[in-house]
Amino acid sequence: MADTAQTTNRTDPTDLPRRSAVRSLVRLWPFARPVRARLFTAAFVAVLASCVSLVIPLVLKWLVDGPVAERDPGGTWLGGGILLLLGLAEALLFGLRRWLVARPLAGVEAAMREALYRHLQRLPVAFHDRWSSGQLLSRGTTDLQTLRLFLAFPLTFLLVNGVTILVGAVLLLAQRWSLGLVLLGPVLPLMVLCSVFEAKYGRAARRTQDQLGDLTTVVEESVLGIRIIKGFGRHRSQTEAFRKLTRALRTSELRKARLLAWIWGCNTTLPEIAIGGALVLGTLQVADGVLSAGTLVAFLSTALALRWPVESIGFLLAMSNEAAAATDRYFEVLDVPAVDEAAGGAAAGDASARDAPARDAPAADAPVRHASEPVGTGGLVFSGVQFRYPDAPPDSPPLLKDITLHIHPGETMALVGATGSGKTTLTALVPRLYDPTAGRISLDGRDLATLGRDEVRALVAMAFEEPTLFSATAAENVLMGGEGAQGSDLRRALEVAQADGFVDALPEGAATQVGEQGLSLSGGQRQRLALARAVVGRPRFLILDDPLSALDVHTEALVEAALRQVLATTTALVVAHRPSTVLLADRVALLSGGRITAVGTHHALLRDHPEYATLMSGDGEGAR
């Protein structure tokens, strides 16, 4: 397990820099650009449909002042037919708009999700140490759904309703400017109210989305840790923790609902009061003979047609602010600099280095070499390596200090040290899960920092202390360790890890699904599959982090016997806690206080180094 604890990334909305919703939403343009033609067409169709709805009051004016006033049945039927056709045209245009945006926006959502997932794979491990998985899951699911809904509805209708209100206002003033001014009276107070609402709702939306991410984290951890929860009878405390989060989320959702109800009430009440005032004033003008009944009907019909665009402003602003918050959360991840997978030096080198013969193991009584002695350049070389975790305080001492170590080509080096000495961290530097803060690591004379991560991971394979399996078949989990590995490679790897017996006994053999995290298997079985995954690709450099800790004594002996054949053809660094594992190695390096304090054979270190003898005296328990 890594030497740092994972922390939850939580953002307090009050601590965020103030950014307008428009500036946030503009960042979606690169993803929407490929479908811009259909989006613009859909917006034009929606504007056209809205304008059609504003033609209806003009037809009503003609119908009331003409055929109805003149008692002309033919004209009345004609007017009714025109109104029916206009209604059908409006419905068909809105249906066309929906059809135009459905498929392309599903593609935009998929592209954004793929971009997020691809970026997550390229982010350094330090990023994943800091961020909880639930926060990342919520950004890749609910936040992206929010953005798709925004692009499908609010984005279009903010434009459509704005155009409708503008055209409607012109028609109202043209029909009767005095009544139009009465209806337009609430515009200024509504703009002020919407501005206040937007700022408050944006913060509430961000808080809700962050709390939903925390809730997702708790659910995920509870499912993955269900054995621990049940085993220790902690279901009540977990339920209480979940209840607190749901109550906090409910409180935030209710605050959003209150804000939305407040703005919706204002957007409904003020225009209704204006319509009522215009109706009274218009009726008086009709009674005085200065206004025709048809004009009043057309005027009120236009006002009623504008009621939904005005009332929906609060709702559309709410959805836009939720989308802006989701956009900020999405780009919080995408803005984190990714490691350059393609950077680095030349090709992986010729095969002769891989096939180089293993050097002779040193004699059992070889003297202990201290870290200050010079090292060569072949194999795996650490030269003055220091490391401090990225989120560590600047004034804290480095976890690893001046690591100088040379593992010769074909040699197996055991790494031994007390708990917290940095063994796992040191091994994580070789496949570039982390990069050293200072110093240099080289593989066969090539600086690790100049190699792209893809190339490094083609050269280096690793088996972690805590094996991770995926919801896939046993074969797929193993073959993940070697690109292009075949069935014969799979069989060989399973035999090396002594996993062929239990894999063959599974219901469908190697094609059996092992379940999420491999929890359908025992700890020893998972560890053996992880070991098979590490050796299946015949790596040039092999890093094993206590690979046999979960095995029984009999299985451990069988795995060690098979593993010796693999170690004879590779350069290996093995974190060891037990003498039986140490004996796999040609030499042993002792890591103490963040430094390599001694290097030698197992027997020489037992004889000459008290700290090493103490670590080995309890069959490795002291090393843990």
One-character DSSP codes across 56-93: HHHHHHHHIIIIITTT-HHHHHHHHHHHHHHHHHHHHH
Q: Cα Rg for the chain, rounded, in angstroms?
A: 35
At position 181, the amino acid (one-letter code) is: L
> Measured between alpha carbons, how far is residue 241 from residues 29, 218, 227, 238, 572 in Å?
39, 8, 18, 5, 45
Q: What is the mean pLDDT of residues 536-560?
A: 78
| Cβ contact 537:489 at 8 Å | yes
DSSP secondary structure code for residue 451 in this structure: S
Of residues 354 and 12, more confidence is placed in 12
C-alpha 513/C-alpha 508 separation (Å) is: 8
- What is the domain partition of the chain in residue ranges? 28-334, 364-623
Of residues 355 and 381, more confidence is placed in 381
pLDDT at position 310: 81
C-alpha 449/C-alpha 452 separation (Å) is: 8
User: In the CATH hierarchy, which fold is given to the domain comprising 28-334?
Assistant: ABC transporter transmembrane region fold (1.20.1560)
What would the pLDDT profile of 408-419 be if each residue is shown by its tens digit? 998 999 999 888
What would the pLDDT profile of 461-509 be if each residue is shown by its tens digit? 888 877 788 888 888 888 888 877 888 888 888 888 888 888 888 888 8
pLDDT at 262 exceeding the cut of 60? yes
| Cβ contact 529:499 at 8 Å | yes
Of residues 571 and 18, more confidence is placed in 571
pLDDT band at residue 554 under the 50/70/90 scheme: confident
CA-nearest of 381, 483, 364 to 441 is 381
pLDDT band at residue 12 under the 50/70/90 scheme: very low
C-alpha 279/C-alpha 260 separation (Å) is: 28
Of residues 106 and 368, more confidence is placed in 106
Hunting for tokens 């037919």 — which residue is that? Answer: 81
**Tokens representing 280?**
């009274």
C-alpha 498/C-alpha 504 separation (Å) is: 11
CB atoms near residue 22 (< 10 Å): 9
pLDDT at position 217: 83
Contacts of 624 (CB under 8 A, 6+ apart): 419, 577
Q: Where does 153-234 have alpha helices with state H?
A: 154-175, 177-184, 187-224, 226-231
pLDDT at position 385: 92
DSSP secondary structure code for residue 621 in this structure: G
Q: Which range is least confidently modeled, 57-61, 340-344, 384-388, 520-524?
A: 340-344
C-alpha 140/C-alpha 134 separation (Å) is: 10
pLDDT at 383 exceeding the cut of 80? yes
pLDDT at position 271: 81
pLDDT band at residue 355 under the 50/70/90 scheme: very low
> Average pLDDT, whole number, for the chain?
80
pLDDT at position 386: 92
Please name the helix (run of DSSP H) or strand (run of DSSP E) that holds residue 109, with its range, or none: helix 73-122
Q: What is the mean pLDDT of residues 525-530?
A: 84
Hey, CA dihedral for 463, 464, 467, 469, is it positive or negative? negative
With a pLDDT cut of 90, the percent of the chain lying above it is 9
Of residues 72 and 511, more confidence is placed in 511
pLDDT at position 518: 61
pLDDT at position 114: 92
* 74-88, 373-387, 413-427, 461-475: which is most confident: 413-427
Hunting for tokens 């919407």 — which residue is that? Answer: 194
pLDDT at position 380: 92
C-alpha 162/C-alpha 173 separation (Å) is: 17
| Cβ contact 267:311 at 8 Å | yes
C-alpha 294/C-alpha 274 separation (Å) is: 20
pLDDT at 623 exceeding the cut of 70? no
User: In the CATH hierarchy, which fold is given to the domain comprising 364-623?
Assistant: Rossmann fold (3.40.50)
What would the pLDDT profile of 592-621 be if each residue is shown by its tens digit? 888 899 999 988 898 888 888 888 875 444
pLDDT band at residue 4 under the 50/70/90 scheme: very low
pLDDT at 214 exceeding the cut of 70? yes
**Diameter of the chain measured on Cα atoms:** 122
C-alpha 122/C-alpha 433 separation (Å) is: 11
Q: What is the mean pLDDT of residues 160-175?
A: 81
Pairing of strands 438-443, 380-387: antiparallel
pLDDT at position 352: 33
What would the pLDDT profile of 508-517 be if each residue is shown by its tens digit? 888 888 866 6
pLDDT at position 7: 40
Report residue 66 CA to chain centroid gap: 64
pLDDT at 331 exceeding the cut of 90? yes
Contacts of 182 (CB under 8 A, 6+ apart): 274, 277, 278, 281
At position 375, the amino acid (one-letter code) is: V
Q: What is the mean pLDDT of residues 119-144?
A: 86
CB atoms near residue 102 (< 10 Å): 12
pLDDT at position 519: 63
pLDDT at position 550: 60
